[in-house]
C-alpha cells in the first residue's frame, strides 16, 4: 500500500501525519515551540527551531507508523501564512522570522497606503494592508534593520523554509504568495508596480507554482537528517487556511469553514475574485486551481481561552495533570453550566488587536455587562461566545458581498468541543458539522501530495471520496434568538463606541 505525508508548520507547533491511500490516519506527531516577543507588539520565531522540531516530528511519526519508509510516495507542506523569513546568499536565516501576529510594521502599513493609494490597493491588491504580512515587514526591515535587509538574497514564507530544507528549492504557491501584499492577485504574478514603488528587488522573491505541483525531491542531506528516503516528491503545498479547509472537506462554495485555532478564520471558496471595497475581509487565491476564497480573520480565538487557562486556570491545569485529561475539557465543563448569553456578559476578543472586519491593531479586549451576578463560569462561556461573535461579524461582510451559506464545517481545536460547535450553530444560525479528522491542515497537505503524485485525479475527488463528516448540530431556535439580540444590539455596537478610547 502507498502512503502520503503531510507537514503543518503551525504558530505554536508543527504536526506531521501519515495517511494511507484510502485516507486512513496511520500516525500523527506534534512538537511545540514558543513565540519570541523581544518587544511589545513583536512576534518572532527561529526557522532553525522549526526545522529541528519538524525533523523530530518526522522521525517520531515514522517510528509510530511501523510502515516501510519506501512506501511513502509523496509529501505535502502547509503552514502559518504571511510571515517573513529573510535568507542570505547561503540560504541561511539572517535573523528570526517575523510571523503573522507581529504588529511592528503599523507605520509601514500607512506608508504602503500613501505610496500606492487606497484606490489602487482596493482595485489591484483587493486586500487591506496589515502588520505581520510580508510586504509591510520587508518595508520595516528596510527602514529599521538596513544591514539585515542588505544581506537578503531570498525571502521565504514559513512553510516554504521547510520545503527548502527538504528539497533545496526556494519556491512558493499561489495561495501563500497572494497573501503577502506583494502579489498582483488578478494577474497571478509578483507586482512589478508594488516592488518598484517600495524599492524591493524582485529577485529576492521565490518562483510561484500551483499547490499540487512538485517543488522538488528529498535531498540526500534531508534524507540523512529526517530518515525519509531520498527522492520522494515534495509537493508545493499551500497556506494553512485553504489547505486546512480542504482537509476538513470544505470544497463547496456554499459550505463555510469555521476555524477556531490560535487565531480564528471563516473561509468560503469562490469561483471568482470577490473584493470588499471597504477592505474588511481578505480575498486570496485558493489551493484549488482556478478558485479563490474569502476569508475573515480574528486574531485571538483559541488564544483567548488559552489566555484564560494560563492566567486563571491553575486549578484545572493541576487537576488535568493528575487525571491525565486536557485542562480545556475541565474549563469547558464549567461553561456548560451557564445559560446561553452568559447573563449579558459580552466579550470582545481583541487581545492582540483585531483583523476582520475592523483591521485595527490597536483594538483591545473587553468584557462588557459585568454585574455581581456573574461567576467565573460566565467569563469562560462569554469568551467562547465572543470568539464566535467575532467570526459572525466577518460572516455578515461575506453576506454583503452576495454569497450564501447553507452549512458550516467546524475546524481547529475549538471544533473538538461540542459546546463550542453548538454555540457556532446558534450564533451563525446554520447547521454545523465536523470532519472526522482533527489535524485537518496536515491531512489536507497529504491530500495535495496525493493529487501531485497522481494518486488522486484532483482535489475534489480526493475530498469527496476520503473525508467523512460527523454528526450535524442544528441551531436551537430559542438560543438563536438570545444570541441574535446580543449580537445585533450589543456586540456590533461596542467596537464603534470604544474605538476612540483604544
Which amino acids are annotated catalytic?
A: 240
Separation CA 375–CA 116 (nearest Å)? 50
Q: Max alpha carbon distance in the chain (Å)? A: 65
Q: Measured between alpha carbons, how far is 75 from 93 in angstroms, rounded to an integer?
A: 24
Query: 408 phi and psi, to 5 degrees?
Result: -125, 140
Q: Is the dihedral of CA 394, 399, 401, 407 positive or negative?
A: positive
Closest CA to 406 of 398, 417, 416: 398
In a 3-state reduction of DSSP, which class is residue 176?
Answer: helix
Beta bridge partners of 255: 407
- If one counts every other C-beta atom within 10 angstroms of the C-beta of residue 223, the result is 17
> Cβ distance 215 to 58 under 8 Å?
no
Q: Is 224 exposed, middle or buried (0-12, 13-18, 19+ CB in 10 A)?
A: exposed
**143-152 LR contacts (CB < 8 Å, sep 24+):** 143/108, 145/95, 148/86, 148/94, 148/95, 149/86, 151/86, 151/88, 151/94, 152/86, 152/87, 152/88, 152/94, 152/204
Three-state secondary-structure class, residue 461:
helix
3-state secondary structure of 476: coil
**Residue 124 grid coordinates:** 489591484
Residue 498: closest CA among 358, 356, 379: 358
Return d(Cα 240, Cα 244) in angstroms, integer.
Answer: 5
| Cα–Cα dist 404/253, whole Å | 8
Nearest to 360 by CA among 495, 265, 266, 179: 495
Q: Which residues contact 432 (CB under 8 A, 6 or more apart)?
A: 258, 407, 408, 409, 410, 421, 422, 424, 425, 472, 473
Tell me how crowded residue 462 is: count the other CB atoms within 10 A of its CB. Answer: 22
Amino acid at each position: 500500500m502507498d502512503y502520503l505525508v503531510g507537514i503543518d508548520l503551525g504558530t505554536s507547533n508543527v504536526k506531521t501525519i501519515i495517511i494511507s491511500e484510502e485516507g486512513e490516519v496511520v500516525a500523527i506527531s506534534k512538537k511545540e515551540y514558543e513565540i519570541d516577543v523581544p518587544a511589545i507588539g513583536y512576534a518572532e520565531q527561529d526557522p532553525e527551531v522549526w526545522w529541528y522540531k519538524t525533523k523530530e516530528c518526522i522521525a517520531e511519526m515514522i517510528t509510530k507508523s511501523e510502515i516501510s519508509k519506501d512506501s511513502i510516495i509523496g509529501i505535502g507542506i502547509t503552514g502559518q501564512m504571511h510571515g517573513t523569513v529573510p535568507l542570505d546568499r547561503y540560504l541561511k536565516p539572517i535573523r528570526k522570522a517575523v510571523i503573522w501576529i507581529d504588529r511592528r510594521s503599523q507605520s509601514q502599513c500607512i506608508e504602503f497606503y500613501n505610496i500606492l493609494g487606497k484606490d489602487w490597493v482596493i482595485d489591484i491588491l483587493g486586500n487591506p494592508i496589515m502588520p505581520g504580512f510580508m510586504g509591510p515587514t520587508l518595508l520595516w526591515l528596510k527602514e529599521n534593520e538596513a544591514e539585515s535587509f542588505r544581506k537578503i538574497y531570498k525571502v521565504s514564507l514559513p512553510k516554504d523554509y521547510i520545503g527548502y530544507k527538504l528539497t533545496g528549492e526556494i519556491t512558493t504557491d499561489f495561495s501563500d504568495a497572494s497573501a503577502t501584499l506583494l502579489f498582483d492577485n488578478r494577474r497571478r504574478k509578483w507586482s512589478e508596480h508594488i516592488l518598484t514603488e517600495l524599492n524591493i528587488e524582485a529577485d529576492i522573491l521565490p518562483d510561484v507554482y500551483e499547490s499540487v505541483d512538485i517543488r522538488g525531491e528529498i535531498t540526500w542531506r534531508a534524507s540523512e537528517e529526517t530518515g525519509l528516503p531520498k527522492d520522494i516528491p515534495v509537493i508545493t503545498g499551500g497556506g494553512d487556511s485553504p489547505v486546512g479547509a480542504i482537509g476538513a472537506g470544505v470544497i463547496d462554495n456554499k459550505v463555510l469553514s469555521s476555524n477556531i485555532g490560535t487565531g480564528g478564520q471563516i473561509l468560503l471558496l469562490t469561483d471568482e475574485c470577490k473584493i470588499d471595497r471597504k477592505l474588511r475581509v481578505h480575498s486570496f487565491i485558493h489551493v484549488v486551481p482556478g478558485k479563490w476564497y474569502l476569508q475573515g480573520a480574528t486574531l485571538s480565538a483559541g488564544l483567548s481561552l488559552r489566555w484564560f487557562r494560563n492566567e486563571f486556570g491553575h486549578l484545572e491545569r493541576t487537576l488535568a495533570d493528575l487525571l491525565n485529561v486536557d485542562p480545556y475539557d475541565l474549563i469547558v465543563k464549567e461553561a456548560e453550566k451557564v445559560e446561553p448569553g452568559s447573563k449579558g456578559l459580552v466579550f470582545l476578543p481583541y487581545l492582540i488587536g483585531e483583523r476582520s472586519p475592523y483591521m485595527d491593531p490597536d483594538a483591545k479586549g473587553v468584557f462588557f455587562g459585568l454585574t455581581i451576578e456573574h461567576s467565573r463560569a460566565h467569563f469562560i462561556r462569554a469568551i467562547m461566545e465572543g470568539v464566535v461573535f467575532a467570526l459572525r461579524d466577518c460572516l455578515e461582510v461575506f453576506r454583503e458581498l452576495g454569497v450564501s451559506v447553507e452549512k458550516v464545517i467546524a475546524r481547529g481545536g475549538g471544533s473538538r468541543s461540542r459546546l463550542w460547535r453548538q454555540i457556532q450553530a446558534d450564533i451563525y444560525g446554520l447547521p454545523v458539522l465536523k470532519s472526522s479528522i482533527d489535524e485537518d491542515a496536515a491531512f489536507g497537505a497529504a491530500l495535495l501530495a496525493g493529487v501531485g503524485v497522481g494518486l488522486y485525479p484532483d482535489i475534489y475527488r480526493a475530498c469527496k471520496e476520503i473525508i467523512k463528516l460527523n454528526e450535524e448540530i442544528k441551531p436551537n431556535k430559542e438560543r438563536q434568538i438570545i444570541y441574535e439580540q446580543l449580537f445585533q444590539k450589543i456586540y456590533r455596537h461596542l467596537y464603534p463606541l470604544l474605538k476612540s478610547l483604544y
